């Protein structure tokens, strides 16, 4: 591709009428500075992409912006020592799709320091089936392991289980031998969640009421993508010495919790951030994903769409209507 070549991109602009989103044609000169140029083959939609594309939350902080916080593709040009033309790479986060032009385009120009080499055993489409949501699920599993959570300690709860983070978390934990309790607001997805390895389905309504300071001890650990009253209920019902990995806010950003589980049961609340996670942590997570995520389950939790469908998918993911993960073919 030469500087004059054109590619399609979804562009968010901001004017007096607010945020506008439209497909357009751009050239490499329209992209932002970076030392690696990538021909994008696949992207995906995460909850945050839904917020960016609909403008429901001020996720995009630079205009114009190409949204898309994840991408997979092939390097076409590189001034970075670690990458050369032809290399297959994966990008998650680092503000891409928020402050740096992102994955919903035929081409991207990025900082090489942000990229990781695509794991050999995963296809580019599989890396986007995992995406930020799946890599965050793995970061959460690593946090539980770092706090000594093993299958013999007791069951592990996953909230928002039928969503992207949740579906990958259920699959990973099940493969690692944990007894998984999957909390969902979609009873129709019970069979789906059991096919991913859930032992038990919990109606999310049970976790969304006013939290008590301490509840019955029900799980040794949890991965929570929901936040708010749900996270407070999850913490209050965690067993003595347990750990809760908090990675999301699908219900809300608040946390109406008591300190009782921390000071009376030694419960640990582990915060999970994928966006600015340092490279060694990312490599560790992707290495474990390549090893520990059942490829058949990954296929079962994935649907594939053309990139052009992203505008109709964005409100659906915010409404909790998207099951598992979505691969977007660019
Ligand atoms: P999804 O929309 O795919 O999944 C979210 C799930 O949460 C839904 O499927 C639903 O699960 C549940 N949910 C939605 N609304 C509510 C509600 N009001 N009350 C209770 N449960 C609800 O999103 P993702 O999996 O992509 O992301 C999940 C969360 O994790 C988001 O908040 C996202 O911003 C955050 N996140 C954070 C990252 C980090 O770096 N910390 C990285 C990636 C994601 P069900 O239907 O099963 O009830």
Question: Residue 4's pLDDT is what?
Answer: 53
| Shared domain check, 267 and 136 | yes
Residues with CB under 6 A from ligand 1: 46-48, 132-133, 136, 160-166, 184-186, 204, 208, 225-226, 230, 247-251, 272-275, 317, 320, 322
Please compute, for residue 310, the number of CA atoms within 13 A of its CA located in the half-sphere on the CB side: 32
Residue 125 resides in a domain: no
| Shared domain check, 227 and 154 | yes
Residue 192 resides in a domain: yes
| Shared domain check, 13 and 68 | yes
Question: Residue 149's pLDDT is what?
Answer: 98
Crossing angle of helices 310-318 and 47-54, in 10° steps, is: 110
Cα 165 to middle of ligand 1, angstroms: 7
* CA dist., res. 278 & res. 173, Å (int): 23
Can you tell me which atom of ligand 1 is nearest the CA of 324? Answer: 3
Cα 5 to middle of ligand 1, angstroms: 38
Of 228, 255, 271, the residue that ends a domain is 271
β-partners of residue 107 are 39
The CATH number of the domain where 239 resides is what?
Answer: 3.40.50.720
Give the residue from 200, 273, 266, 193 showing the smallest Cα distance to 235: 266
| Shared domain check, 163 and 98 | no
Number of domains in the chain: 2
CB atoms within 10 A of CB 10: 23
Can you tell me which atom of ligand 1 is nearest the CA of 164? Answer: 25
Question: Residue 101's pLDDT is what?
Answer: 98
Question: Residue 2's pLDDT is what?
Answer: 54
| Shared domain check, 195 and 265 | yes
Residue 291 resides in a domain: no
| Shared domain check, 307 and 259 | no
Question: Residue 79's pLDDT is what?
Answer: 98
Structural domain containing residue 113: 3-118+299-329
What are the angstrom distances between the C-alpha of 137 and each of 4, 133, 207, 303, 306? 40, 6, 20, 18, 25
Classify the C-alpha dihedral 192-198-204-206 as positive or negative.
Answer: positive
Give the pLDDT of the chain (330 residues) as one tens digit per residue. Answer: 555 589 999 999 999 888 999 999 999 999 999 999 999 999 999 999 999 999 999 999 999 999 999 999 999 999 999 999 999 999 999 999 999 999 999 999 999 999 999 999 999 999 999 999 999 999 999 999 999 999 999 999 999 999 999 999 999 999 999 999 999 999 999 999 999 999 999 999 999 999 999 999 999 999 999 999 999 999 999 999 999 999 999 999 999 999 999 999 999 999 999 999 999 999 999 999 999 999 999 999 999 999 999 999 999 999 999 999 999 999
Question: Residue 5's pLDDT is what?
Answer: 80
8 Å CB contact between 14 and 91:
no
What are the angstrom distances between the C-alpha of 212 and each of 72, 229, 240, 256, 278? 44, 10, 16, 10, 36
């Amino acid at each position: 591709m030469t500087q004059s070549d054109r590619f399609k991109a979804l562009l968010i602009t901001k004017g007096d009428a607010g945020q506008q989103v439209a497909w357009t044609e751009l050239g490499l000169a329209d992209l932002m500075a970076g030392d690696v140029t990538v021909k994008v083959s696949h992207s995906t939609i995460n909850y945050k992409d839904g917020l960016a594309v609909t403008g429901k939350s001020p996720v995009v902080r630079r205009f114009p912006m190409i949204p898309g916080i994840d991408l997979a593709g092939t390097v076409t040009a590189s001034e970075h020592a670690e990458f050369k033309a032809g290399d297959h790479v994966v990008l998650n986060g680092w503000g891409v799709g928020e402050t740096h032009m992102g994955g919903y385009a035929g081409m991207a120009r990025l900082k090489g320091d942000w990229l990781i080499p695509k794991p050999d055993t995963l296809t580019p489409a599989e890396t986007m089936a995992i995406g930020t949501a799946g890599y965050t699920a793995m970061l959460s599993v690593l946090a539980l392991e770092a706090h000594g959570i093993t299958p013999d300690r007791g069951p592990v709860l996953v909230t928002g289980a039928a969503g992207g983070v949740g579906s990958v978390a259920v699959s990973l934990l099940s493969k690692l031998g944990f007894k998984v309790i999957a909390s969902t607001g979609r009873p129709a997805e019970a069979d789906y969640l059991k096919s991913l390895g859930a032992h038990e389905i919990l109606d999310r309504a049970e976790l969304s009421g006013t939290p008590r300071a301490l509840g019955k001890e029900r799980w040794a650990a949890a991965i929570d993508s929901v936040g708010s009253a749900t996270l407070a209920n999850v913490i209050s019902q965690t067993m003595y010495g347990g750990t809760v990995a908090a990675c999301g806010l699908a219900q809300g950003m608040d946390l109406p919790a008591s300190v009782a589980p921390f000071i009376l049961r030694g419960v640990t609340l582990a915060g999970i951030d994928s966006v600015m996670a340092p490279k060694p942590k990312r490599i560790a997570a992707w290495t474990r994903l390549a090893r520990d995520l059942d490829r058949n389950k990954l296929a079962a939790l994935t649907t594939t769409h053309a990139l052009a469908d992203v505008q109709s998918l964005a409100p659906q993911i915010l409404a909790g209507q998207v099951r598992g993960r979505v691969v977007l073919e660019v």
